[in-house]
């Protein structure tokens, strides 16, 4: 019997009473989707999942997402590792607020992340509720960005000159990042983006991937974006997830931003990740 323990935060819940390594019936899957859409980020603790279990479970939630710029693990073309070795000195991966791969024409609806090796301290993941961020935007700022589109690009991270580019590779990052010139591409999405399943509007920008606002001079858009970035990561929107080995976290990229945190120097951290496309869309 599934039970839900909401987090003492704007979003987030712990889901108990389901073994994700076992086959799940339709009613259970529908219930999990319902909980996910309501709480935005949900954690299943004490799961013992082989990679195949992770693949099977995520396919029940939605089709495979596209994962540019991170090579998959051998034999599992949709599973990537979020990895940091104990002695690694490269900058933290994903330390700025972002919604996964928002620079794609059809960004992933969701992401599943499974804790394999978790440090004894630090390494939490922060999630910020972007429905609440949109709903609480100051009126003048909301009016200035309503019906506007932000220009997203992977260039700051994944181009050869980006944060995970040539210099980063030379510095010896352990994660299988594959930077590329394709990261220079751009893709626009509404700043107030309507969630296709809930119909609610969420703020959909991030300092990691947004490089401007369509049809607006850079100085004007930089000022508006700075105000949005300051607003979107406020404490009242945040759920802090503390990891344990065997926890699977499933989040909704359409109404959340997230970021990694450090504080585990000298310890290894390893998680497996699968992105989930919108229903009806399937990555190659």
140 burial level (CB within 10 Å; 0-12, 13-18, 19+): exposed
Phi, psi of 115, rounded to the nearest 5 degrees: -80, 115
Q: Is 125 in the site for ligand SIN (CB under 6 A)?
A: yes
Q: Is 94 in the site for ligand SIN (CB under 6 A)?
A: yes
Closest CA to 48 of 245, 246, 269, 243: 246
Residues 127-166 contacting ligand SIN, CB under 6 A: none
CB-nearer residue toward ligand SIN: 55 or 100: 100
User: Of 78, 83, 152, 273, which one interacts with ligand SIN (CB under 6 A)?
Assistant: 273
Q: Is 260 in the site for ligand SIN (CB under 6 A)?
A: yes
Q: What is the largest CA-CA distance in the chain?
A: 55
CB-nearer residue toward ligand SIN: 254 or 273: 273
Q: Is 58 in the site for ligand SIN (CB under 6 A)?
A: no
CA 281 vs CA 23, 65, 107: distances in Å: 23, 8, 10
User: Of 11, 13, 32, 82, which one interacts with ligand SIN (CB under 6 A)?
Assistant: 82
Size of the site for ligand SIN (CB under 6 A): 7
Strands 80-84 and 256-260: unpaired
CB of 258 to ligand SIN, least distance (A): 6
Tokens at 179, concatenated: 């930077």
Q: Is 32 in the site for ligand SIN (CB under 6 A)?
A: no
CB of 161 to ligand SIN, least distance (A): 21
CB of 121 to ligand SIN, least distance (A): 14
CB of 79 to ligand SIN, least distance (A): 13
Q: Mask: binding to ligand SIN, 227-246, rule CB under 6 A, as x and -?
A: --------------------
Residues that bind ligand SIN (CB under 6 A): 82, 94, 113, 125, 258, 260, 273
């Amino acid at each position: 019997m599934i039970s839900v323990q909401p987090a003492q935060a704007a979003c987030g819940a712990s889901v108990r009473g389901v073994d994700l390594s076992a086959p799940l019936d339709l009613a259970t899957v529908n219930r999990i989707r319902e909980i996910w859409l309501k709480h935005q980020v949900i954690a299943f603790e004490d799961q013992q999942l082989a990679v195949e279990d992770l693949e099977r479970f995520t396919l029940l939630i939605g089709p495979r997402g596209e994962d540019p710029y991170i090579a998959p693990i051998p034999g599992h073309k949709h599973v990537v590792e979020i990895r940091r070795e104990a002695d690694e000195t490269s900058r933290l991966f994903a330390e700025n607020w972002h919604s996964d791969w928002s620079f794609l024409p059809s960004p992933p609806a969701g992401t599943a992340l499974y804790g394999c090796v978790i440090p004894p301290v630090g390494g939490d993941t922060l999630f910020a509720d972007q429905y609440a961020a949109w709903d609480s935007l100051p009126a003048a700022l909301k009016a200035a960005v309503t019906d506007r589109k932000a220009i997203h690009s992977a260039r700051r991270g994944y181009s050869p000159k980006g944060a995970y580019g040539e210099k980063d590779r030379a510095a010896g990052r352990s994660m299988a990042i594959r930077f590329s010139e394709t990261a220079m591409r751009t893709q626009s999405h509404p700043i107030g983006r309507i969630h296709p399943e809930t119909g609610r509007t969420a703020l959909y920008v991030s300092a990691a991937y947004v490089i401007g606002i369509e049809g607006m001079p850079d100085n004007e858009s930089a000022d508006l974006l700075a105000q949005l970035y300051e607003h979107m990561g406020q404490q009242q929107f945040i759920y802090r997830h503390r990891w344990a080995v065997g926890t699977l976290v499933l989040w909704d990229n359409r109404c959340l931003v997230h970021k990694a945190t450090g504080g585990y120097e000298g310890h290894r951290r390893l998680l497996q990740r699968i992105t989930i496309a919108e229903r009806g869309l399937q990555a190659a």
